[in-house]
Amino acid sequence: MIRSGRWERRSAVAAGRIAAARAALADCRFCAHDCGVNRLAGEVGVCRAGAGPRVHLAQVEVADELELIPTFAIALSGCDLRCDFCITGAQSWNPLAGEIIPAAELATRAEAALAGGARTVMLLGGEPTIHLPFLLEVVAALPDEAKLVLKTNAHGSVVSRAFLHGLFDVWCADYKFGNDACAERLARVPNYTETVRENLLWAARQSDLIVRHLVMPGHVACCWAPVAEWLALHLPGVKVNLRSGFWPAWQARRHPELRGTVPDGEAARAREIAAEWDLNLVV
Amino acid sequence: MTDTELKQPPDGKRALVSEILILPDGRVLGHSLTRAFTQLLSELNPDDPQIRPRTPEAVASDTTAQEPAA
Ligand code: SF4
C-alpha cells in the first residue's frame, strides 16, 4: 500500500490513467470474463455495459461497516456477475438503469456530503470495476484527502488491478461462494475461486481490506465454511463482515434453497465457524 | 416508472432510496439505508443491534467519524 505520500497526488495519478483506461475499452478485459469486446464500438460482453455508466444511486448511507459510515455511496449500474439473489438485480443486470451523471457533479455532491459529516466516499455497483474509465474520472475529481472505498465483487482482472492500484484506501470485497460449482450455478461465473482469491491477496497487499460474505440459506457448509477456512489460513487477521441479512431477492426463487431467509440454526452455525477459525469479525 | 423517475421526483429534488424487508417475526432487513430511514427504524425497534449503532446520534457520537483519512 502506498502510504501518506499517495494522497497529495492521488487525483493526478487517477487523471493520468483515464486515457489509457478509455482506450482499453476497445478490447475490454477489465474483469476475469476477459471478453475482448470493443465497447467503444458498441460491442457488449457478459456485463452488457457500454462505454459509459449510469448511476442508480448517489446518496449518504449508513448500512455499511461502522468504520466506513456515513458514506457517500455512488452506485454504478451493470455488473459482470449474474447472481440470481442480487439485492439490486434490476440495476446490476441492466447497465441502462439509472441516469447519466457527470463525474464532476458526483464529486461535488460527495464533497458536500463529506462537509456534512460523511466519513468516506464509496464506489460500488453493480460492479464499479467494469466502468474503470469513469471510476478514474470520479477519483480524479475527488479531493485527495477523501477516504475512498471500492466495493467490489473481486472478479476484476490483472488489467483492472493495474488501473486501480493505490487509489482506494479500503477495498470492501465480496467472497460469496466457497466453491466453483455454487458460483457457476448461482452467478454463472466460471473459475470463481481462483479469481477471487487472487484479487483478495492483491488487495490486502495494497490497501485496507474488508472481506464480506453474505450467509445464504443452505450454503453454510459448502460456501461459508471453505471461505472461512481460506481466509483464516491465507489472510489471517483480515477484517471479515459476516452478513446475515440474506433475503430472497431478484431471481432467487430459481433455487429452492434460496426461497427464504437464513434459518436461525444456520446463522448460529455460521458464527460458530467464524469463531472456530478465530476470524476478525467486523460489523 | 423508470429508475430515473423514481429518483427525481417532479419537484426536482432528488429522492433518497432505502429498501427493507419486514419478516413475519418482526425482524427488519434492509440495504441502502439512509440516515433518515435508520432513524425511523430505530424508533420502531430501539433494541435492534444492527440499527442502533447506525442512528445519526450514534454515528455523531463516534469520535473517530471525523478523523482525516489515514
Ligand atoms: S467488464 Fe468484464 S464482462 Fe464486461 S465486457 Fe469487459 S471483460 Fe467482459
Tell me the per-residue pLDDT of B15-53, one tens digit each, with 9 for 90 and over. 788 888 887 777 788 888 998 889 888 888 888 888 889
Q: Which residues pair with A33 in a beta bridge?
A: none
- pTM of the predicted structure, to 2 decimals: 0.92
Work out the minimum CA distance from B66 to partner chain A, whole angstroms.
7
Verify whether the Cβ–Cβ distance B21 to A247 is below 8 Å.
Answer: yes
**A50 alpha carbon – ligand 1 mean position (Å):** 10
Verify whether the Cβ–Cβ distance A67 to B64 is below 8 Å.
Answer: yes
Closest CA to A175 of A73, A279, A278, A259: A279
Query: For the segment A155-185, what is each residue's pLDDT rounded down to a tens digit?
Result: 999 999 999 999 999 999 999 999 999 999 9
Verify whether the Cβ–Cβ distance A57 to B17 is below 8 Å.
Answer: yes
Verify whether the Cβ–Cβ distance B68 to A145 is below 8 Å.
Answer: yes
Q: Is there a domain that residue A258 lies in?
A: yes
> Above 0.85 for ipTM, yes or no?
no
Q: Is there a domain that residue A156 lies in?
A: yes
Residues 6+ apart with CB under 8 A from A180: A190, A191, A192, A193
Please check whether residue A172 is in contact with residue A122, taking contact to mean a CB–CB distance below 8 angstroms.
yes
Choose the closest CB to B3 out of A56, A59, A119: A56
| B65 pLDDT more than 80 | no
Atom 2 in ligand 1: which residue has the minimum CA distance? A31
Whole domain around residue A149: which residue ranges? 2-26+53-281
Which CATH number belongs to the domain containing residue A174 in this structure?
3.20.20.70
Whole domain around residue B55: which residue ranges? 18-65
Best interface-test mutation with B: which of A54, A62, A64, A76 has the largest number of B CBs within 10 A? A62
Q: Is there a domain that residue B59 lies in?
A: yes
Q: Is there a domain that residue B31 lies in?
A: yes
Q: Is there a domain that residue B58 lies in?
A: yes
Q: Is there a domain that residue A270 lies in?
A: yes
Q: List CB contacts (< 8 A) between A59 and chain B.
A: 14, 16-17, 32, 34
- For chain A, 283 residues long, the average pLDDT of each consecutive 10-residue run is 55 97 98 98 98 96 96 98 95 96 98 97 98 98 97 98 98 98 98 98 97 98 98 98 94 96 96 98 97
Q: Is there a domain that residue A243 lies in?
A: yes
pLDDT at A3: 38
**A158 alpha carbon – ligand 1 mean position (Å):** 13
Verify whether the Cβ–Cβ distance B64 to A70 is below 8 Å.
Answer: no
| B68 pLDDT more than 60 | no
Work out the minimum CA distance from B37 to partner chain A, whole angstroms.
10
CA-derived radius of gyration, chain A: 18
Provide the grid cell at A4.
501518506
Q: Is there a domain that residue A11 lies in?
A: yes
How many domains does chain A divide into? 1
Q: Is there a domain that residue A33 lies in?
A: no
Burial A217-232 (b: 16+ CB within 10 A, else e): bbbbeebbbbbbebbb
Query: For the segment A57-91, what is each residue's pLDDT rounded down to a tens digit?
Result: 999 999 999 999 999 999 999 999 999 999 999 99
For residue A65, give the chain B residue with the closest CA: B54
Atom 5 in ligand 1: which residue has the minimum CA distance? A45
How many domains does chain B divide into? 1
* Angstrom distance (rounded) from CA B40 to CA A134: 35
pLDDT at B5: 35
Choose the closest CB to A7 out of B16, B62, B69: B69
Q: Is there a domain that residue A255 lies in?
A: yes
Amino acid residing at A77: S
